[in-house]
Structure 1
Amino acid sequence: MKSIPVAYLASYSLSVLGNSVAAIVLPLVVLQTTGSALGAGTVAAATVVPAVLAGLFMGVVIDRINRRTSSVVTDLVSAAAVAALPIVDMITGLSLGWFVLFGVIGALGDVPGTTAREALLPAIVRHGGVSPERITGLRESLGAIALLVGPAGAGVLVALFDGTTALWITSGTSLAAASVTLLIPHRVGAIVTADGTAATPVGNAWRQLRDGWAELIRNRFVLVVTLMGTTAVIVTGALQGIILPVYFTEAEQPGLLGVVLSTIAGGTLVGGAIYAAAGRRGRRRSWFVVGVVGNAVGLAVLATLASVWMLVAGAFILGVSVGLFSSLIGVLSIERIPEHKRGRVMGTQNAFITAASPLGVFLAGALTEFTSLNIAAIAVATTWLIALIIALCARSMRNLEPIAHEDARIEGSTVADHA
């Protein structure tokens, strides 16, 4: 594999690793510093709205500047926001207000950073001599490894270092991600049209923003994928945030929660690896159906809450299916989202996904509180099943084979008509 895709995958892995470590370390540091669980919740809640707004509006910037540059800048913002906390702690000491402030600044880098890296992917395929199937499959597998290693690494950091000292290493992963991205040539990040010429932004920022949102609605493939992605995160948030923790707490086996969540990540690793190796074989519609049906089966098994081993089996089936399905959607997104609108479209998708996780936790918590844990689990599984049926029946998801280059021209139109 050439150096360009290697650098991209390394940067992606470091970014995911940093986020997974920060998700564990930062709340613990807030608790250690303030002694308040409400304070930790306040910091988490305060970052949601800025993250959503950044996803909605920063896509315009990502579509106007070099995407390699935007990836580096957003990683540096994230690194600086985390590194500022131990610096302030050394100078004046930390309070809840400082955590909220730098949490908000970090949120302004995290979601646009994810968007910039996703928007860069088609250029990595073009310049890196690698197939979309291979790089998306490898990306899913490496992301799963980072999600497996991150929480364990966070636990070690908190055990070895006191207070905000652990945040230096967390910040270092984002800095390392930015540094590795610099190994990608600057020309790779240039925004081009379907015929390979440089894309020139048309109109002011507000017009471009509306144009990107209109693309999300008109392009039926993008609309279905956005619906599925948002629903998937609602379901995942409900499972990981409420249903499984409550189940294992009531069973007096809280340690097994980590086993089930790790099994999902391990299954995703396997699914991504399978798609990286074999994704170019067979029809894409077949891969799509396997991924969708596997998701439904895995979640249905989890929703039974029958036994620990049933949950582990369901988690593995779900993880493998997620790895296959996410890899395929990554390939299709490369082909079917117009290059010069990727920042705005994917930024909006990431904004919805950012808001979806706390929504899933809230809804599952309310259902558990006012009905029962089993009803909440069944409701979550039913919600995902409805989304999957919609996806299976959607016209835009029937013909998933590669679109001919001459049909992929997107000047003044969308690729939705070809989906």
Structure 2
Amino acid sequence: MNTPLWKQRNFMLLWSGQLISWMGTEVSGIALPLVVLALTGSSVQAGGVAAIRGFVYIFWAIPAGVLIDRWNRKIVMILANLGSGLAMGSITLALAFHTLSVTQLYIISAIEGSCFVFANLGRFAAFPRVVSKEQFPAAAAQSGAASNIALLVGPPCGGWLYQATGGALAFFVDALSYGINAFSLFFITTSLGPETSPDRTAIHHEIKEAFVWLWHQPLLRFLTILTAGRTILSAGLYLLIIILAKEHHTPSSLTGLLFAIGAGGGILGSLAAAKIQSHISLKKSLLMVSLMSFLTFSFYLFALNYILLAGITMLFYAIDPLYDVTTSSYSVKVIPDRIRGRVLSLMRMVVLGAYSFGFFLTGNLLQYLGSRWTTAIYSLLLLLLFLATAKNKHLVFTKDVIPSTGDSKRVTVPASEDRSS
């Protein structure tokens, strides 16, 4: 019988440190676009600053993936978190001395984004090392709950701190949270490195090995594209909700509360996600999530007041955890640990590229077309993703095909035992 997750020391250190870091990120996440809007009045600039992290990820992802498979992942994550903390702390100082400019925000976001690449890949690669594969769906659901707890707490605090201090304290809280996460990681005792030491070859050979492996996994490639499509929307959703709230003359403090209400839905969804995912096939899970996401998001077209906006946001956030648990569990099952960092770097490069593009696209759509057309375009995107899922020949209802991690042979797993990402 497996030990409950909350009794597993190493998992809880990784999980709790990330929870605190996510809280800090959500606090500064709502302050950042508000600061940019205060400096420039431009939603394009707000989207551009937020998009830098993803653009930097594209630049660093592939070499970082190779290094994550070579280096001590624990040390990498500690140093990366400390670097991000220093970057966020510099914004606090610039605001305190009234010297902050948009140019500085672009540069600092690029630095923080570079550190984020290594911390993010390190965490994704290390996560399966602190829990068993059997417990991974539950651990993924708990991780999803942590992100929603952060969303529940962070934005209201960030909105209040922005109103009270102009954002300086919000960025200080984020900097402090990175330091706490680094401190928590320091006490993890299990090895977070690959199960087997990789052979040292030229970097381009190691990249090619991961690329070839991923190329021969059509279902994993499809899920990466599907995730990227959803990420375009989810990245811009933050800015879209802020603009919709402003159109309804909502104070900054209540704007943060919108995300807290959404997080409440996300927590409920996380609590149910692992159980639901264990009883339905991969295709049923993805179809259900895709259709519900399309229908729910379309209701933003009719969000004529604050209460409707809050209810739709809560429902939309409640749907996402099932998708995350399904897709992350699948990737853990099929990606060999020795190349996990490299394969994840390729996948995350696509997803984070979509994240940046989502901010950039949303900023421009809101600037030139307005909130209603932006909502309609993203509703159409979700409909296309649902249709692509329904038509994908590698997804079946009764049994999900799970490729062997050692070669190109395939084995079948009963739908009731499927776990996916």
Shorter-chain TM-score above 0.5:
yes
Q: Which residue of 297, 300, 316 maps to 1:299?
A: 297
Q: Which residue of 131, 136, 141 maps to 2:135?
A: 131
Q: State yes or no: 1:62 paired with 2:68.
A: yes
Q: Which residue of 187, 191, 194 maps to 1:191?
A: 194
Please say if residues 221 and 336 of structure 1, whose CA atoms lie closer than 8 Å, have aligned partners that are also in contact: no
In 1, the alpha carbon distance for the partners of 2:297 and 2:95 equals 44
Q: Which runs of 5+ in 2 are unaligned?
A: 1-6, 414-421
Larger displacement relative to structure 2 (88-97 or 261-270):
88-97
| Deviations, residues 212-246 of structure 1 (Å, cap 9, x unaligned) | 3333333122211211111112122344323x445
In 2, the alpha carbon distance for the partners of 1:76 and 1:400 equals 47
| Deviations, residues 157-200 of structure 1 (Å, cap 9, x unaligned) | 4456577455333211111111111222142x0202xxxxx131
Structure 1 residues 44 and 325: alpha-carbon distance in aligned structure 2, compared to 1, 3 A threshold: closer
In 2, the alpha carbon distance for the partners of 1:332 and 1:371 equals 38
Please say if residues 133 and 276 of structure 1, whose CA atoms lie closer than 8 Å, have aligned partners that are also in contact: yes
Structure 1 residues 236 and 45: alpha-carbon distance in aligned structure 2, compared to 1, 3 A threshold: closer
In 2, the alpha carbon distance for the partners of 1:301 and 1:30 equals 28
Which residue type is aligned with residue 184 of structure 2?
Answer: V
What's the counterpart of residue 122 of structure 1?
Answer: 128
SS at match of 2:194: coil
In 1, the alpha carbon distance for the partners of 2:67 and 2:342 equals 9
What's the counterpart of residue 220 of structure 2?
Answer: 222
Q: State yes or no: 1:22 paired with 2:18.
A: no
In 2, the alpha carbon distance for the partners of 1:2 and 1:86 equals 36
In 2, the alpha carbon distance for the partners of 1:307 and 1:90 equals 36
For these two proteins, the number of residue pairs brought into alignment is 404
Structure 1 residues 201 and 142: alpha-carbon distance in aligned structure 2, compared to 1, 3 A threshold: same
| Deviations, residues 63-92 of structure 1 (Å, cap 9, x unaligned) | 212322322222122122223455688999
Alpha-carbon distance, 1:98 to partner: 4.8
In 1, the alpha carbon distance for the partners of 2:386 and 2:368 equals 27
Which residue type is aligned with residue 193 of structure 2?
Answer: A
In 2, the alpha carbon distance for the partners of 1:59 and 1:26 equals 28
In 1, the alpha carbon distance for the partners of 2:351 and 2:140 equals 19
Q: Which residue of 135, 145, 161 maps to 1:141?
A: 145
Please say if residues 297 and 314 of structure 1, whose CA atoms lie closer than 8 Å, have aligned partners that are also in contact: no
Structure 1 residues 98 and 124: alpha-carbon distance in aligned structure 2, compared to 1, 3 A threshold: same
Please say if residues 13 and 143 of structure 1, whose CA atoms lie closer than 8 Å, have aligned partners that are also in contact: yes
What's the counterpart of residue 3 of structure 2?
Answer: none
In 2, the alpha carbon distance for the partners of 1:209 and 1:270 equals 39
| Deviations, residues 337-370 of structure 1 (Å, cap 9, x unaligned) | 2222222222233333333234334444555666
Structure 1 residues 300 and 16: alpha-carbon distance in aligned structure 2, compared to 1, 3 A threshold: same
Alpha-carbon distance, 1:335 to partner: 0.5
Structure 1 residues 362 and 40: alpha-carbon distance in aligned structure 2, compared to 1, 3 A threshold: closer
Structure 1 residues 356 and 266: alpha-carbon distance in aligned structure 2, compared to 1, 3 A threshold: same
Larger displacement relative to structure 2 (308-317 or 217-226):
308-317
Q: Which residue of 114, 132, 136 maps to 1:108?
A: 114
Alpha-carbon distance, 1:322 to partner: 0.7
What's the counterpart of residue 13 of structure 1?
Answer: 19
1:234-383 superposed matches below 5 A: 234-242=232-240, 244-253=241-250, 258=256, 260-276=258-274, 279-281=277-279, 283-305=281-303, 311-364=309-362, 366-367=364-365, 373-383=371-381
Structure 1 residues 88 and 217: alpha-carbon distance in aligned structure 2, compared to 1, 3 A threshold: same
Q: State yes or no: 1:75 paired with 2:81.
A: yes
In 2, the alpha carbon distance for the partners of 1:363 and 1:180 equals 36
What's the counterpart of residue 195 of structure 1?
Answer: none
Larger displacement relative to structure 2 (144-153 or 64-73):
64-73
In 1, the alpha carbon distance for the partners of 2:297 and 2:24 equals 28
In 1, the alpha carbon distance for the partners of 2:373 and 2:35 equals 35
Q: Which runs of 5+ in 1 are unaligned?
A: 193-197
Q: State yes or no: 1:167 paired with 2:171.
A: yes
Larger displacement relative to structure 2 (101-110 or 86-95):
86-95
Alpha-carbon distance, 1:135 to partner: 0.5
In 2, the alpha carbon distance for the partners of 1:140 and 1:209 equals 30
TM-score under structure 2 length normalisation: 0.81
Please say if residues 264 and 319 of structure 1, whose CA atoms lie closer than 8 Å, have aligned partners that are also in contact: yes
Alpha-carbon distance, 1:297 to partner: 2.6
Alpha-carbon distance, 1:403 to partner: 7.8
What's the counterpart of residue 393 of structure 1?
Answer: 391
In 2, the alpha carbon distance for the partners of 1:119 and 1:415 equals 24
Q: Which residue of 404, 409, 413 maps to 1:408?
A: 404
In 1, the alpha carbon distance for the partners of 2:12 and 2:365 equals 45
Please say if residues 335 and 402 of structure 1, whose CA atoms lie closer than 8 Å, have aligned partners that are also in contact: no
What's the counterpart of residue 185 of structure 2?
Answer: 181
Which residue type is aligned with residue 374 of structure 2?
Answer: A
Percent of aligned pairs sharing the same letter: 19
Please say if residues 11 and 181 of structure 1, whose CA atoms lie closer than 8 Å, have aligned partners that are also in contact: yes
CA RMSD of aligned residues (A): 3.6
Alpha-carbon distance, 1:383 to partner: 1.1
Please say if residues 88 and 174 of structure 2, whose CA atoms lie closer than 8 Å, have aligned partners that are also in contact: yes
Please say if residues 335 and 403 of structure 1, whose CA atoms lie closer than 8 Å, have aligned partners that are also in contact: no
Please say if residues 95 and 167 of structure 2, whose CA atoms lie closer than 8 Å, have aligned partners that are also in contact: no
